[in-house]
Amino acid sequence: MSRPAHTRRSLCLVVATALLCLTGRGALAESCDAPKPDFTISAPAGSVAHEAAAFSGVWAGIWLFRGVGAGDGISQCARIYVSLKDTHNAAVAYCYGSRSDVGTAPHCERYRARVRGNHLRFVTLVGNNISMRRRRPGTALVTATFPAGQRRVVADFQKL
């Protein structure tokens, strides 16, 4: 097989795999048992920087807690609702689904978030630091860092 044909086939395989992964994640996020908050997402004001305004909306993802439970671990779905107040401040509703290993019931909490460029950050009631970094339009890498030296969990979130 010639090199250009091999390269095209490899590229097609990579694209097809990525699309299957995104479709699967979208389906998991849609079946999430996280409640919907009583939360209004306002359109960002015209004065809000484009980078910050791109956070406005609903983001969905699946946390995977490795080393917990049987098999590969325990998963927990989450949604982050973001309403920009200005270029540097946002209101956030962080909603997550049930988690059987620790008896977590579906729940929503509201927070104030800080925005710096393509990075949004807030701290939960129990001290978890949640950090969103937009990577491409409609996708963000979200990191949850736990207090008391526990490890962190990273997940891809998609804008719904």
Over residues 90-114, the pLDDT tens digits come to 999 999 999 877 788 999 999 999 9
Most distant CA pair in the chain, distance: 58
Q: Is 73 left (phi over 0), alpha (psi -120 to 50) or beta?
A: left
pLDDT value for 138: 95
Distance of CA 127 to the CA centre of its chain: 18
Q: Residue 37 has which token pair?
A: 């908050």
Q: Which CATH number does 32-159 carry? A: 2.40.128.20
Helix (H, G, I), strand (E, B) or coil at 12: helix
Q: Of the spans 6-20, 64-78, 118-132, which averages the highest pLDDT?
A: 118-132
The arithmetic mean of pLDDT across residues 54-64, rounded, is 96
User: Which tens digit of pLDDT belongs to each residue from 21-51?
Assistant: 344 444 444 579 999 999 999 999 999 999 9
pLDDT value for 150: 66
Give the pLDDT band (50/70/90) at residue 152.
confident
Q: Residue 17 has which token pair?
A: 């795999």
* Secondary structure element (H or E) that encloses residue 29, with its range: helix 3-30
Closest CA to 33 of 92, 77, 82, 80: 77
